[in-house]
Structure 1
């Protein structure tokens, strides 16, 4: 029986194929009740701060976990992470960076800003399944996440 993810998972990812791949891999291991996607950094900040089309809390429930791409249009992942970690209402939400970048500077910068983990996107579906399985075992089965809200 699949474990139920009883929190909102927000994924900030501009590539629709990556979004679909992650959702499919996640659903292999978990019953996902609420996963939300935003396609760029500005949209992520708007969602988190309930601005514009995300003003209604029913349309933008507070996520309990965020997956954040670094290379996004309008506002990159580092800028989003900086805003998030400097906001007293949002800074406790766990953020895992999920990106194509292997650059040591990106890794160091995101940890300096406050990411909780840094993952490089796998290059195959099988590797993605394995990464999601390990990510889930740690973050969704072992770690006690802070309450949402």
Structure 2
């Protein structure tokens, strides 16, 4: 059995529609990991910096994080910066998953320590395929650190 199969996947996404489509794609690809949603960067940092301390959050850090960039309040760039500068969190793979294909955004995210940068596809079949590739690489092929 995959040792990361029950560790949550965290999706930081302000759009209910995008999260619903992502959840559906993970389910269709038979992912056994719980898929959690934080609606914005502040909620994500609250969970990640205080995991196990709040009754509504799991006591484990996520195996991977899918991070939207453009959110109200604390945006994805700020979350990425905090994560990659925190010794307890910096080893969690962060996949920026956003609509922006702007080369400045891409360069900035890699400079801040993103492990991958993927643009959200428009159509659901393309989203499902992109999720399949994420699963295949990050959850099946990669050797990931077992966090918290």
TM surpasses 0.5: yes
Q: Could you list the runs of 4 or more consecutive aligned residues of structure 1 that deviate by over 3 angstroms after TM superposition?
A: none
**Alpha-carbon distance change, 113 to 134 in structure 1, aligned in 2, over 3 angstroms:** same
What are the residue-to-residue correspondences of 1:1-149 with 2, within 5 Å?
5-50=5-50, 55-56=53-54, 59-60=57-58, 61-149=60-148
* Superposition deviation, residue 135 in structure 1: 1.2
**Alpha-carbon distance change, 102 to 140 in structure 1, aligned in 2, over 3 angstroms:** same
Question: What runs of 5+ residues in structure 2 fail to find an aligned partner?
Answer: none
Q: Is the 8 A contact 1:50 1:57 kept in 2?
A: no
Q: Which whole-Å deviations, capped at 9, do the CAs of 1:97-141 have from their partners, x for residues lacking one?
A: 000001000000000010000000000001001111111111111
> Please, what is the CA RMSD of the aligned residues?
1.7
Q: Which whole-Å deviations, capped at 9, do the CAs of 1:13-64 have from their partners, x for residues lacking one?
A: 000000010010011112334111000111111111118xx73377233111
Distance 1:94 1:14 in 2: 20
Question: What runs of 5+ residues in structure 1 fail to find an aligned partner?
Answer: none
Deviates more, 1:58-67 or 1:97-106: 58-67
Distance 1:138 1:117 in 2: 11
Q: Normalising by structure 1, what TM-score?
A: 0.90
* Superposition deviation, residue 11 in structure 1: 0.5
Query: Secondary structure at the residue paired with 2:54?
Result: coil
